[in-house]
Structure formats: structure tokens, C-alpha cells
Amino acid sequence: MTVSRRQVLTGGTAAGVGLTVAGVLPSLAEPAAASSGHHGHSSSESRPFPPLRDDPNGILALPAGFSYRIVTREGSTDMSFGQGKTPAFHDGTGVVDADHDKLTIIQNHEMTPHMSAFGVPHIAGTVYDPGAPNAGGCTVIVTDRNGRTKSEWVGISGTVRNCAGGVTPWGTWLTCEETFINAGTAWTAGGQSGVYQKDHGYVFEVTRSESKRQVPKPIKAFGRYEHEALAVEPDLKRVYLSEDASGPNGLFYRWSAPSGRRLGPGLASSLSDTAGTLEAMQIRLDDGSILPDVAYLTSAQLGRPFKVTWIEVPDRDARTQPTRAQFADGTVTRGKKFEGVWSTSKGAYIVNSFAFGASDLPADATKHDGMVWFYDYADQTITLVTYFPHNPAAESEGAAPKYADLTFDGPDNVTVTPWGTLVLAEDGVRASHVLSSVPGGPTYAIARNMISNGTSNGSPTYSEFTGPTFSPDGKILFVNIQVPGITLAITGPWEKYLG
């Protein structure tokens, strides 16, 4: 069914950057971890971060009072047990364990064969597909409570394009392959070649243990498609998953456990390939019709909840066609670049990075440079909480330097801070930032990537921020620069500005 934007909207697109409605949805700003000792607040209490100051080392611009240290760097830092150098293309990252003297982090490496000489090596006990090259996978990083590196080793290997994922309530990491490769597909890179022996496009569980305790087996129940990120509902009965894909645009999914079942460690071994139900999201309009694409909504809908229903995916393993192509347009709600997902006790935050260009948009939809949503578990509603109106500079890949810390676009990975606010990693086409975003409130720059020049076609390099995640005590924000792959531990007076 063709739906005109005029049937959806109640007002025009407002101008601005990271536009939100102050005071809307203050109940969404809740502590992410009750044990942290911090308290929730209304969005109006957030303070602006001070201006960013250039780094003399040319890596990370930060506000006064903040500093960073390098945790790992591709091709430079050494992994433990003689496993070689830190792999490249750092992406989704989560703190999975904290004790009195250390933090344990699991990190994705979003690689295909041609992308870097520093791939994730095949280590016995971690390999999913022995026919895959040394490329994608995960590493496990241990630091002290100040972010100083103690060790790093391979958690899973033989996977492809491990993009984002999510930390489980039981302290493991679910890593997502953002790819759709069939067994028998040939690959060539760096003078080497091979053939994939297994299908790819799955979710895998990675533990903080060394390789002898890993289970490099896909969780086929969650479906096979271009996965981006996921979040486990606190009741341990549902998982919410995003798809970063186009032609047609991707979907947002919900997996529900079989009746009476609660999730726990060892998902790949405990769930059959067809366990539970995988469904795609349908956003319902006031007349009951289905919103065909999230790009029909604009800043006029900020703070307005929409009812969500779900429709079952016919073939979750996508044997004959991709899962998103199994639905006719208008029967599901699509979105360009469904990206980061992060759970709270009440719901999940979901990010759409951008939509512009003929291939991204359905007829009569609106270009945008980013959206952040909140899905309420109990009410089964979804609400737009942050909106980045489209700036034509996003298509021409240019912005005047004096506006570098004032114009934001392309939110990607998301995390919820211990104080209930959000941190977003930018993957846009101008200057690349880490952003503080208040649901129903303003957006501020926390950091700027000084290695990247902000354009995908320029030199010396283009890079996005990835994998923001806080230590449970709120003292350290871990975040990655993807190219060259660097993990950074940022410290400073976080509570002054986020608490």
C-alpha cells in the first residue's frame, strides 16, 4: 500500500542539529545499572560538554578535564599466548565482566578478506569456518580498573564482518555477522585464496574464557541476514535484532523464546535451529495501517508513541531469499541502516543512521541524517526520541571546519550510560564524533576523531567511531576508532555532565 507522507505527518521538518524536544520522555532517562550507585535524572539536568580541544598527538580531541589512553592498536599491540598482533577494524564492543581489579571487554573486528593484513587468526577452539580467511572475529581484552591493558586473545575466528552485537545479562557477548555469504563462495585476498565451507550471516556467543571454552557455533534460531546489533530483554524471553541492509531496506526483528523458556549461557547448544519465533516489526499508524518505512517520520513525531505489532519471518535461515525480501513492501516497516541497539530495564534504544538518495528512500519520504528510537517492552510502542534533519553537506561530504563540532550526522553504535543518557558513535561524512545524547533533550560532542579527515573519498583516511561502552562504575568510556583500529579508554568528570 502506498502511504503519502501527508497521511503520516502533522507538521513540517524542523531545522537544527540533533533535534529533540526538551522535556519529552524524561522517564526514559533511567540508570542503566542500579548497582552503579548513580541516580536517574530528568533530561533537563544534563550539562553541555565544554568545547573540544585539539590533541597534540593528533588522535582524539576532548573537552578540558578529560583524557585518554590507548588500550589496543591494530598491528602494534601484542596479543597473549603468541597469537600475534591486535587485529584491525575494531567495531562493536562490550564490557562483559568487572571485578575488584580488572575489566573484561569483548570486541568485534568487522573485516572481510581484502580489508587488512591484520585479521583475526584462526586459533584452535575458536574457529567457526576453517575455509574462511583470517579476517573477521572477536578478541577478548582485559584491562585494570583504570583501562590499562593486561592481556588480549582471540575469542572467535573464522567468521566474517563482525559488526556490532550485544552484552548478555549473564556476562557473555553476542557477536553479529553483517554479511550474507553462502558456503562454496570463493574468496581471494593478499595473494591467497580459498572457499567458504559454511554459510555466514549469523549470531554467535563469545565468552570471556580462553579458547578452550569457546563454542564457535551459530545461533541459527536468531536468523540469517545482515545482522548489526541486538539486545536481550531483561526477562530473558526475547531478543531484539537490527539489520543493516538495502535493496530492499532492512528490518528490525524480535525473537521470542519457546513458551516457558528463559535464556542463559550456551545459546548455540541449547537452542535448536528453529527454536522460538523470529518476527519483523510493523509500526502501526492511527488508522491501523502499517508505516512502510521509518523515513516517513520526521521531527514532527518526536515524543509520539506508535503501536508496534510483529509478523513472523517465513524462512529465518533464508534458504531461497533474504529474510527482508520475504515480505512485500507495506507489510513490514523498513528502514535504511538499522544500526545500534541497547537495552534498559524498560525498553531498547534503536538507531537508524541516515536516509538520503534515491536508493534509500521510498516515494514521498523525507531525507534524514539519523534517528534514535525507544521501544517500550511493556507497551509495545516505539517513540522517536532524537532526530538529525538532513544537511545537504552530508551528500557533498563537506563542512566548514568552524562547524566541525556543531554539525552531527550518521549515528551508529549506541550505549546507555550509568546515568541513563545515551552515547552515540558517529559514522557520517563530515567530522567524526562521539556524542552525548539526552532522550528528549540535546546532543553534545564528547570527542572528535583527529585521524580522520571526515570524508570517505579523501586522504589521509576516513574512519568512524565504534563500540562505545562504559565501565559499570562510570569511570571509563571505552570507544574505538575503526581505521586505524584503536581502542581508547576515556576518563574525566563524566557524572558532572551526564549525571
- Of the two residues 103 and 430, the one the predictor is more confident about is 103
Kindly indicate the confidence band of residue 25, based on its pLDDT and cuts at 50, 70 and 90.
very low
Is 282 in contact with 253 (CB distance < 8 Å)? no
**Torsion angle, CA of 301/305/306/307, rounded to 10 degrees?**
180
Longest dimension (CA), the chain: 62
- pLDDT above 70 for 400: no
- pLDDT above 80 for 39: no
Q: What single string gives the DSSP state of each residue in 21-84? A: -TTS-GGG---S-GGG------GGGPPPPPPEE--TTSSEEEETT-EEEEEEETTTSBPGGG--
DSSP code, position 85: B
pLDDT in tens, 233-265: 999 999 999 999 999 999 999 999 999 999 999
Q: What is the mean pLDDT of residues 217-222?
A: 98
Other beta carbons less than 10 A from residue 82's beta carbon:
8
**Torsion angle, CA of 481/211/133/70, rounded to 10 degrees?**
20
Q: Is 210 exposed, middle or buried (0-12, 13-18, 19+ CB in 10 A)?
A: middle
- pLDDT above 90 for 358: no
* Alpha-carbon separation of residue 341 from 84, 197, 347, 400, 467 (angstroms): 32, 30, 10, 31, 11
- pLDDT above 80 for 43: no
- pLDDT above 70 for 49: yes
Q: What is the pLDDT at residue 363?
A: 82
Amino acid at 235: D
* Alpha-carbon separation of residue 66 from 145, 477, 488 (angstroms): 17, 11, 12
- pLDDT above 50 for 272: yes
Lowest mean pLDDT among 28-37, 107-116, 308-317, 423-432: 28-37
Q: Look up the pTM and report it.
A: 0.91
Per-position b or e across 288-309, b if 16+ CB within 10 A of its CB: eebbbbbbbbbbbbbeebbebe
Q: What is the pLDDT at residue 461?
A: 65
pLDDT in tens, 65-96: 999 999 999 999 999 999 999 999 999 999 99
User: Which range has highest mean pLDDT (9-18, 131-140, 388-397, 439-448)?
Assistant: 131-140
Is 143 in contact with 113 (CB distance < 8 Å)? no
- pLDDT above 90 for 381: yes
**Torsion angle, CA of 80/84/85/87, rounded to 10 degrees?**
-100
- pLDDT above 70 for 398: no
Q: Is 101 exposed, middle or buried (0-12, 13-18, 19+ CB in 10 A)?
A: exposed
- pLDDT above 90 for 21: no
pLDDT in tens, 278-311: 999 999 999 999 999 999 999 999 999 999 999 9
The C-alpha atoms of residue 364 and residue 315 are separated, in whole angstroms, by 31
- Of the two residues 372 and 13, the one the predictor is more confident about is 372
Nearest to 160 by CA among 184, 175, 173, 179: 179
Look at the chain and count its residues. 499
- pLDDT above 70 for 41: no
Kindly indicate the confidence band of residue 29, based on its pLDDT and cuts at 50, 70 and 90.
very low
Other beta carbons less than 10 A from residue 320's beta carbon:
9
pLDDT in tens, 129-182: 999 999 999 999 999 999 999 999 999 999 999 999 999 999 999 999 999 999
Is 278 in contact with 202 (CB distance < 8 Å)? no
Q: What is the pLDDT at residue 394?
A: 61
Q: Which cell numbers hold the place of 426?
A: 558517529
Kindly indicate the confidence band of residue 30, based on its pLDDT and cuts at 50, 70 and 90.
very low
